Amino acid sequence: MQKYCKNQNNINILLDHESGRGFKVTFTINEEGESNILVITRAPKSHNAEDLKKELNKAIKYLTNNEDELGIIKEISFVFLFPVIEYSKDVLEEVYNTKGELFLCGNDGFIENGEYLKNDLIIFESLINSSHIIFAWGEPTSKDIRKVYESRLHYLLKGFKVVKNNCFDLKKFYYVGTLTNQGYPRNYSSWSKNLQLNEFEI
């Protein structure tokens, strides 16, 4: 795994080129800023820098419009429950059925440049380095994927609570607007400027 498109339009993308998965996208907003924002969402839609910039612009605009709550933003990063490129709503289920849960979740693990990498390590490291964390994973894309989805969220939320309770710096967790009908934090694609940023208790 390696950083791709480094410093191109202030975007860094962490990719596994061999498997075609995207693990993290970071936008530098203001070098003089103080807050590092982490958005945890379902899956990347692309690994192309320009496509990602267009796809995530709505979320970036919403967050920068809420600097009264978040502080002056230095960076906004996006990490994913599932690093598989979500070209369509059926992709997660297809990958699960053909390549298995570890691959779908990005936790099959491999060594790159002497470093062992997997998705959960990336997510938790990003969480530790962030001051404000936004939950934005939306609903499961199908009934068949729901069990994996729920298991993944249970594990991650338990870990997030451990991090929160053991970090010296104060970390705040949020969701945008109301929860979905199924009780999930809404995906960033449905954010709008009139929706409130709410704290999430874990």
Q: Kindly state the average pLDDT of the residues 188-202.
A: 93
Q: What is the pLDDT of residue 4?
A: 38
The continuous run of DSSP H or E covering 16 comes out as strand 11-16
Q: Kindly state the average pLDDT of the residues 73-100.
A: 95
Q: What is the pLDDT of residue 68?
A: 95
Strand 115-117 relative to strand 132-136: parallel, antiparallel, unpaired?
unpaired
Q: How confident is the model at residue 8 (pLDDT cuts 50, 70, 90)?
A: low
Q: Kindly state the average pLDDT of the residues 12-29.
A: 92
Q: How far apart are CA 152 and CA 22, in angstroms?
A: 18
Instruction: Work out whether the CA dihedral 137, 141, 143, 144 comes out positive or negative.
Output: negative
Is there a contact between 52 and 25 (Cβ–Cβ < 8 Å)? yes
Q: Which range, of 13-17, 29-33, 127-131, averages the lowest pLDDT?
A: 13-17
| 3-state SS assignment for residue 178 | coil
pTM: 0.92
Is there a contact between 72 and 30 (Cβ–Cβ < 8 Å)? yes
Q: Which tokens sit at 10?
A: 């202030």
Plot region of 54 (φ>0 → left; ψ -120 to 50 → alpha; else → beta)? alpha
The continuous run of DSSP H or E covering 41 comes out as strand 35-41
Distances (CA, A) of 193 to 57, 63, 180, 190, 196: 13, 9, 17, 10, 8
User: Phi and psi at residue 122, in whole multiples of 5°?
Assistant: -65, -45
Q: Kindly state the average pLDDT of the residues 100-123.
A: 88
44-55 residue pLDDT tens: 999 888 899 999
